[in-house]
Structure 1
Amino acid sequence: MYLFFLWSTIDARWASPFDVRIDHHKVDITDDLVINTARPRFSWKISGLNNLLYRNVQQVAYQLQLQSIPITERDNRFEWDSERVNSSQSTHVSYTGQSDLLSSKYYRFRVRVWITKLEESSEWTNWIRFRTPIFNLHEYIIRNDNLLWIGSTKINMNELRKEFLVPSDSPLKSAIAYISGLGYYEFYLNGFKVDSSRKLDPGWTTYEKRTLLVSFDVSTNVTTGMNAVGVKLGNGWYSQEQHGEFGYGPPRLIFILFILFENGDEMQIFSDQTWTGREGSIKHDSVYNGEMCDSRNDRSNWSRAGFNDSLSAWIMPESMPSPINISRNGLIVLQDMPPIRAGSDALHLEVEIDSQHQSYLNSEDIGKIKGASLTDGGILKPVAMWQSDSGIRTFDLGQNMVGWCRIRFHGPSGFGVYIRHGEILTQPVVSTNHSARNIYTENLRDATASDTYVLRGDLINEIYEPTFTVHGFRYLSIFGAPNALTLDDVECPFVHSETTVKGHFSTSNPIINQIQHNIQWGQLSNIMSLPTDCPQRNERRGWMGDAALSVDEALYNFDLIKFYQNFLNLIVDVQLDDGEVPNYVPGNSYPADPNWGTALPTITWQVYRHYNDMHTLEAYYDHVVAYVEYLCGVYNLTGLANFTVTYGDWVPPPPQPMTNKHLIASFAFLHDVYLLINMSQVLEKQSDTNTYLVLYQQLAEEFHRVFFSTSKSFYADGMQAAQVLALALPEVVPANVREAVVNQLVNDIKQNNIHLTTGIVSTAQLYPVLSDNGHHDLALELISSTTYPSYGYMFTNPYENATTIWELWNAPLAGPGMNSRNHIMYGSVGAWFYSHLAGIDVSSNMITIRPRMASEAKKYLLSKLDCQLSTLYGLIHISYTRDEHDTISNSILLHITVPTNTQARIILEPLLIGGRCKTLIEGHNIIWSSDIGNRYVEGFDIEKDSITGFMTVYIGSGQYEFQAIWQ
């Protein structure tokens, strides 16, 4: 009999918790853990038991202990000891202490678990230290008359400093700083930058409604005696030049430093008019237009105590108005999401992107990926350099990216260098086929995306790296460099909001692999404290349509719950009293097109679905209701036939027209009502469920009545978009016409030579609709296309090879006005990779794994697949190979890893039309055979669907190797 458990050999230490999270913060990658809630929640994974011998391992109990720091003489005294709690819950476990955690305190906690079949517990985790901020931060600031926003309206005061004396009467216990510099700041203490990889802080918000403050533990940076704090300021988005908002700018700073001594004494340093300021080496900075830096104005010791500057005038700053508008309920709040970082600190890995997890995929299967790897440490080096006819040196990074470059110069003082950035190169002149290979910048529109640097004239090489700007580019040209630059003189950090890669997807189809690469790089390029549309031109806004379309894909690939919760806060900050939201945030582009406004309900739902975090639903539910009620008000005036619309199914591939715009807008309305029904059911709001079910049924009937042509048996004009959107909505297409609508969609795709005609809204639904309606082969053919218009065309066309996702299907042939090469809105297809090609659904307690299978005739399109998805429980790993054994036809070898403390159902589809499973093998044991029918095998519960032929296997945690043979 097959051995499932060797419990006698299990050491309880193997089951110890790891990847512990508190309030969604990953403790193992956060040095200064600040928990901005008095009632945090905890999650952990259980290690060491996912192998062939240890299966169906479940947690049966846990214990959490929490102490305040410093520990008193009674070290066994806890603020909270849950004691043993008999529960399998290992995610979102609530702190249930008798009293709330206190403001401005240090704590530590640990956790241990008990698992099935073991008498003893696991070992405790190490103590995990965290601190709480000032919980009533906003009230503290507005009530403190000694605390000022400081800056200058007279000069470009972008460097401020203050010295202060720390007495030596008692040892220093802690030093906590709070800082916000608008638009951006960099924080220095005693000559060193605090948190060197942190960039472009704080996050961009509607500043008058929400201004973010950042907290740092600087206990090890402050010493007894004289100390000095220095702050650099940048314009960022708090600038009329950049943002166009009246009343924004010039830069300003607020700063608080709390010092606590062992004897209980306290000391406070505030931003006030005892500081001094000047214009530093940065003469101008702009997100769009880059930076002008004269390094002759650098002062190397400016943030050290005792600094004396004989060459600059440091003057008293002015008291500046607060950015928040109290009359509009403006708040100063702690920045509770990961910061923007540069280089290796910006990206962490929870999946292994190497050959170990792709042993059955050789290099011929995968194909050579164009572009850089996410595992290269976040620093890109040029892959090529050339000198144009005019002497300009141009560098190719081989990857469209976001950030800036560190460039090593050597030359005389006062020598000026000009640096420009671009995504692509100019096309050859048709008449001569000659190209100077200069960078193309017209698609940047009014953004100059350039940096100017004036050398200090160091005897040894000096390195220039911009401070308060960011560029989207693949190529950079350097004009007038004083030295002959080489490839080694340039390196460029990849810059984005800090996150963790939690999804990896690779197949035997090189087209799909390149698309996945382009999606991941494009998504990272567009998480810059909020989800942006593009990173290079004079836009880079939080367009809600782009965010809604890409959120599902983004949450499969990256750990972004705090990032999206922040974005939801930005949306509700500007939601009007009637529930209306704008097209982008920050911004006032009211009213939103329904497919843009859907970001509020869609992101709320997707965050819940990916993290099973009911608190997210609770926090934003009323706002979603208000938005849907706003749409209802519009609907009552227009009906679906004339429902409000602005953008529709944006940018379908030329020369294709856009389908009926009112149908497209109506899709979003029904979609949002349906999501609201789901939310109300989860939150057990039965009255709301009943209300919106009635509404949805009414809308579904009207949608079909208004947009369906009974004489032609298709929706609207018969185009792909109209059929896709109707089919994507539950219960809209009646059963008696569904086949006709599906056939209309399929035939149109075939009549267009297996090409899509869809814009951004319907493309997001196209591939799932095909797979779910019996045409998965066609979906695979469509995604594998390399001719126009297709994803594959983006990197196989004769003009340029994309390493991110284009904004336009015909980018090389379109004009420069709206033509980004790094847009994420069409990256929506990435969700289908995980949800259908790998077949992972984690939206319930039972993990579902149902890889969609190509027919035998089309299996060459996807014969091998490897997918990893890191969840809050642990790693889900799926890999399959079709017909691995030459002697067996119509078979699949499927490797599955199910995380500890979970269960899964594996759904195996027939490999041929009308096929039936002949034999199902796990390991070396037959667990089901058509000859003997279903039989009991320990550890497996097997069901056969007599109509579809699907085989469903219910399993517990562990690693499995299934082989299914079909006939």
Structure 2
Amino acid sequence: MLTPYALSCDGRTTPLGLDERTPLLSWRLRSDRRGDAQTAYRILVTEDGVRRWDSGRVEAGENAQIRYDGPALRSGTRYEWSVTVWNADGAEAGTADSWFETALLHPDEWAAVWIGRDPRIQPPFDPPVVDDLTDRVRHLAPPPHLRRAFQLASPPVRARLYATARGVYEPRLNGVRIGDRELAPGWTEYRTRILYQTYDVTDVVQAGENVLGAVLADGWWSGYVGFDSRHQAQHYGDAPQFLAQLVCEFADGSTRTITTDSEWVERPGPIRYADLLMGQHEDAALALPGWDSPGYDAHGWTPVQVVDTAPGPLVAEPDEPIRVTEELHPVSVTALGDGRHLVDFGQNMVGRIRLTIRDAKPGQRIRLRHAEVLTDGELYTENLRTAEATDLYLAAGQPLETFEPSFTFHGFRYVEVTGYPGTLAARDVVGRVLHSDTPFTGSFECDDETVNRLYRNIRWGQRGNWVSVPTDCPQRDERLGWLADAQIFAPTAMRNADVQAFFARWLADVRAAATPEGAFPDIAPKVAMLTEGAPAWGDGGVIIPWLLYRAYGDTRTLERSYDSMTAWIGHVHRHNPDLIWRHRVGNNYGDWLQVDAETPRDLLATAYFAQSTALVAAAARVLGRDPEPYDTLHARIRAAFVDAFVEDDGRVIGDTQTGYLLALGFDLLPPHLVKPAFARLAADVEKRDHHLTTGFVGVALLCPVLARHGRPDLAYALLHQDTYPSWGYSIVHGATTIWERWDGWTADRGFQAAQMNSFNHYSLGSVGDWLYGGVAGIEQAPDSVGYRALVLRPTVGGRLTWARASQETIRGRVACGWRLDGDQVVVDVELPPGTTADLLVPTSDPTSIRDGNGEAVPGPELRLTSGTYRFTAPR
């Protein structure tokens, strides 16, 4: 039966706290019947059982981004919704239901004011007896513990806590931590918007005394962020602040709202300082047992200061928050002597440690230092630059204690534990993996373990760098949202996970960071000294909205981005009227971290100018705008590119792999020069004994362009290569995430310059898109949106004897795989209802293809509708 599943509202399954007035409703489809499709749907939205909107039966096959079209939604209200679908025969089929809840839809509904520590009252910081603290952390203020006691005559029938921080916070209520968010509210361009969270606390609030509390830390607001030595901290403010209101509804229809106001009190607790880059220092002797519970004596606590009475640009959290999603256990714990243990988790991860401490003496000092790799058996920390990545714990002297920092995170595989009492057992140390909790929806596997390790490295790199923003690295003093890294990796990211809401939220920061002239930045949120975006970097503001539209049918983000997309093209064009992009190029990084090659930077810039212009023209067509000016401009840029950079024999100036990849991948060459240009690209790969030279910009195009132009053998040769430079080289030398640079470590030179040498940096992992689309064969048709129409071209080659991939698209599950069985190739396909696919069976004899029943089918290209299929053909 045709069945809807995975219902979502604005890209989330059951959003609690939504401030879109017209949310978008979506569902996926499955069916056990081949050729099935949705022919109609009906959406019903209710509130407390009362019908609020009934779409009626809509004759349409669309199942994603359906706009709510009912009466205005009310604030703080739970809405249930269901969808019923009709199948290919027009018969009513399955029904599924879900819910969403609105947040505070009107600014005047905020009664709370911003509170924080009174700056006139600075709690003393007494350094420990062993004082090896650096000047960076020595005088950091301890995070305040905030509390507010209040009385209720009866328990509420419904209670919601709306909360946020300028900084990061952990909410508490009646002795209980509320929710599972980490580092809330996350990082945005705080000057233009701050996210707030909604919590259902109905079961926690009680009659009688209640205590609402929070622990507040610097986070991105006032803590260390980035690499600018002239301005490393306090980018937005000099101290964290908190804003919250608890709304309680009672059985008699009355309400009571408790807000942040001057009635709150605060004091420091056991955390002496907490910083995202530097780490967390905790003294268990300073713990405040019961501080967030009724009955606690708060005498002596200090009144807070009201620091701002205007709530400011608040936006309800629009995507999944940062969460702890997995726990890792050590593969080894080694006693090093002199009171040190070295813990190896076997995987470069991002998060923190939960350490169980047994029989420590009062005041015993335990230090945790984190690193990604080792050098001569010791932590390699030079690449952290000024990030200290060190957590400190002073024990209370209890038989059993647990230390897990709350307001920091590190990128690491190894942890050096110093001062642990006795011998550290593996069971007493746990790696807590945290990242923005984007649901993983894709998979790839094959029979080559090195390729599987590459795929896992790509996924781990995505997890570790999806921490509120798509960061460039999670370990050193940077962790910034670089646009080029994001746009180059976005196609792979969209294969691996549902990142629609994540990217849509971040793109608001990208737009906010643009200059008045229309220039996108290199990074967003914009905190560093960088100004106008460089070629391929600023272009991320054009490319990512288009990719979201293609993958998810997300016209809303495309619409919201369109004006800034056109402004970017206008900015580049205005300063480069000859259409060769040489002026106003920002830092102009070129093909960043390419090896043994130098692609001309004006060539790369002009290629991106052309590509972004073409995408703006395409977006104009989708949105009903006039594409003609951009179509014309694109044609002129394309001609200028050929005149400036392409010779009559197809040679592209610079003669680099990336130069040819840009010309071919962006379709910038006239037809008669495609073959000679590609021949030069192939020859360059061959003369280098199947090694690449591409940097960040070229690498994503490498395997797809080689395979598309008839040389998948070269793409596979690069995929399997394990000598420098290659993906396999890092794996041979122990990589469990993608390195920032091909030469992060080499056998003959050792470590690269520590100033820029991350071992967890996803950009070079953009080959993951080709694993799905080239090796396993899952691609969209050129004019398809949301995987409505597919082109399945599994590529047999290399050392592989089988490969398969799957994706949960907005339509449903797509899968494609192949295996060699003697002199036969077997291809398996799964398509969701309502989709079609053109399958190209990889066979030497298209006349001998047979289906799963052994019946002959004409080939090699087969037109398929939804369902599961198996085909067998000669190799």
Q: Given the two structures, how large is their TM-score scaled by the length of structure 2?
A: 0.92
Tell me, what secondary structure is at the counterpart of 2:635?
A: helix
2:101 alignment partner in structure 1 = 131
Q: Residue 809 of structure 2 is aligned with which of 859, 871, 874?
A: 871
- Correspondence for 2:181 among 198, 201, 206: 198
> Does the residue aligned with 2:806 lie in a helix, a strand or coil?
strand
| Inter-CA distance 64–790: structure 2 relative to 1 (3 Å threshold) | same
Matched, 1:809 2:775: no
Quote the offset at 1:579 in angstroms.
0.8
CA distance in 2 between counterparts of 1:720 and 1:85 reads 51
Indicate the residue corresponding to 1:669 in structure 2: 609
Aligned partner (choices 266, 276, 282) of residue 287 of structure 1:
276
Structure 1's 892 and 684: CA in aligned 2 closer, same or farther, altered over 3 A? farther
Match of 1:225 among 208, 220, 243: 208
| Contact map agreement 1:398 1:474 (CA 8 A) in 2 | yes
Q: Do residues 928 (structure 1) and 857 (structure 2) align? A: yes
1:56 is paired with a residue of what secondary structure? coil
Is 1:681 the counterpart of 2:630 in the alignment? no
Counterpart position of 2:346: 398
C-alpha change, 1:42 and 1:794, in structure 2 (3 Å) is same
Question: Aligned equivalents of 1:240 and 1:916: distance in 2?
Answer: 64
Distance of aligned partners of 1:17 and 1:723 in 2 relative to their CA distance in 1, 3 Å threshold: closer
Q: Which moved more, 1:504-513 or 1:289-298?
A: 504-513
Cα deviation 1:252-305 (Å, max 9, x = unaligned): 111111112222212111111111100111111111100111111112211111
Q: What does residue range 255-654 of structure 1 map to in structure 2 within 5 Å?
A: 255-308=244-297, 313-321=300-308, 331-343=313-325, 378-410=326-358, 411-427=360-376, 437-459=377-399, 461-587=400-526, 589-636=530-577, 639-640=580-581, 644=585, 646-654=587-595
The 1-side partners of 2:808 and 2:424 are apart by: 43
8 Å Cα contact 1:187-1:230 kept in structure 2: yes
Q: Does 2:127 correspond to 1:152?
A: no
Whole-angstrom distance in 1 between the partners of 2:599 and 2:586: 12
Distance 1:84 1:580 in 2: 45
The residue matched to 2:443 in structure 1 has which SS? strand
Residue matched to 2:66 = 93
Which whole-Å CA distance do the structure 2 matches of 1:314 and 1:412 have between them?
29
Partner AA of 1:718 in structure 2: D
Distance (Å, rounded) in 1 between the aligned partners of 2:550 and 2:319: 20
* Partner Cα separation in structure 1 for residue 441 and residue 224 of structure 2: 38
Q: What root-mean-square deviation, in Å, do the aligned CA atoms of Structure 1 and Structure 2 show?
A: 2.0
Alignment partner of 1:833: what SS? Answer: helix
Alpha-carbon distance, 1:703 to partner: 0.6
1:204 Cα deviation (Å)?
0.5
8 Å contact from structure 2 (residues 591, 658) kept in 1: no
Confirm or deny: 8 A CA contact 1:150 1:254 kept in the other structure. no
Aligned to 2:655: 718
Residue in structure 2 matched with residue 367 of structure 1 by the alignment: none
Equivalent in the alignment of 1:774? 710
| Residues 1:22 and 2:22 aligned together | no
Can you list the C-alpha shifts for 1:77-110, whole angstroms capped at 9, x where unaligned? Answer: 411122333322222222222x221222222122
Select the residue among 236, 243, 260 that pairs with 1:254.
243
Structure 1 residues 936-955: aligned runs within 5 Å: 951-955=860-864
Cα shift at 1:917: 1.1
Q: How do 1:825-844 and structure 2 match up within 5 A?
A: 825-842=763-780, 843-844=784-785
Q: CA deviation at 1:734?
A: 2.0
Residue in 2 aligned with 1:901?
A: 834
Q: Which amino acid aligns with 2:867?
A: G
Alignment-mate amino acid for residue 296 of structure 1: A
Identity value in percent: 29
Q: Which moved more, 1:334-343 or 1:235-244?
A: 235-244
* One-letter code aligned to 1:101: L
Q: 1:33 aligns with which of 16, 27, 51?
A: 16
Structure 1 portions without partners, runs of 5+:
1-13, 72-76, 325-329, 344-377, 428-436, 930-943, 945-950
Indicate the residue corresponding to 2:148 in structure 1. 162
Query: Cα gap change, 1:578/1:641 in structure 2, threshold over 3 Å: closer, same or farther?
Result: closer
Counterpart residue type for residue 737 of structure 1: L
Structure 1 residues 185 and 723: alpha-carbon distance in aligned structure 2, compared to 1, 3 A threshold: same
Question: Equivalents in 2 of 1:454, 1:323: separation in Å?
Answer: 40
Q: In the aligned structure 1, how far is the partner of 2:666 from the partner of 2:114?
A: 53
In the TM superposition, what is the alpha-carbon distance from 1:119 to its structure 2 partner? 4.0
- Between 866-875 and 383-392, report the one with greater CA deviation: 383-392
Partners of 2:579 and 2:640 within 8 A in 1: no
Match of 1:727 in 2: 664
Q: CA deviation at 1:379?
A: 0.5
Given that 1:151 and 1:157 are in contact with CA atoms closer than 8 Å, whether structure 2 keeps it comes out as no
- 1:441 to 1:905, Cα distance in 2 relative to 1, 3 A: same
Q: Which runs of 5+ in 2 are unaligned?
A: 123-141, 226-231
Specify the alignment match of 1:707 in structure 2: 645
CA contact (8 A) 1:18 1:46 kept: yes
Checking the alignment, whether the CA contact within 8 Å between 1:402 and 1:470 is kept in structure 2 is: yes
- Alignment of 1:78 with 2:56, yes or no, is no
Q: SS state of the match for residue 550, structure 1?
A: helix
C-alpha separation in 1, matches of 2:582 and 2:316: 45
> Which string of whole-angstrom CA distances, capped at 9 and with x for unpartnered residues, describes residues 23-70 of structure 1?
22123xxxx6333222222222334x33xxx2111122222221112x
Mark the CA change 1:748 to 1:457 in structure 2 (over 3 Å): closer, same or farther: same
User: Does 1:696 find its partner at 2:634?
Assistant: yes
Give the direction of change, closer, same or farther, for the CA distance of 1:641–1:281 in structure 2 (3 Å limit).
closer
1:776 to 1:247, Cα distance in 2 relative to 1, 3 A: closer
1:957 corresponding residue in structure 2: 866
Distance between the aligned counterparts of 1:167 and 1:905, measured in 2? 67
Cα pair 1:776 1:852 within 8 Å, conserved: no
Tell me how far apart the structure 2 counterparts of residues 119 and 725 of structure 1 sit (CA, whole Å): 49
CA contact (8 A) 1:640 1:703 kept: no
Residue deviations 1:829-854 (CA, integer Å, cap 9, x gap): 11111122222224436432322434
Assess, with a 3 A threshold, how the Cα gap between structure 1 residues 140 and 632 changes in structure 2: closer, same or farther: farther
Query: What's the offset of the Cα at 1:707?
Result: 1.2
CA contact (8 A) 1:240 1:248 kept: no
Q: SS where residue 718 of structure 1 aligns? A: coil
Determine the C-alpha separation between the residues in 2 that align with 1:333 and 1:118.
42
CA distance in 2, matches of 1:157, 1:809: 40
Give the Å deviation of 1:894: 0.7
Aligned equivalents of 1:450 and 1:300: distance in 2? 26
- SS of the equivalent of 2:576 reads helix
Distance 1:924 1:115 in 2: 26
Cα shift readout 1:148-200 (whole Å, capped 9, x = no counterpart): 333332334510000011123xx6232111111221100000000001x3111
Please report how far the alpha carbon of residue 443 of structure 1 lies from its aligned counterpart in structure 2 after TM superposition: 0.7
SS of the residue 2:150 aligns to: strand
Residue equivalent to 2:125: none
Distance 1:394 1:957, change over 3 A: same
Name which of 848, 856, 866 aligns with 1:919.
Answer: 848
Cα deviation, residue 402, structure 1 = 0.2
SS of the equivalent of 1:87 reads: coil
Q: Is the 8 A contact 2:788 2:811 kept in 1?
A: no
Distance 2:143 2:743 in 1: 45
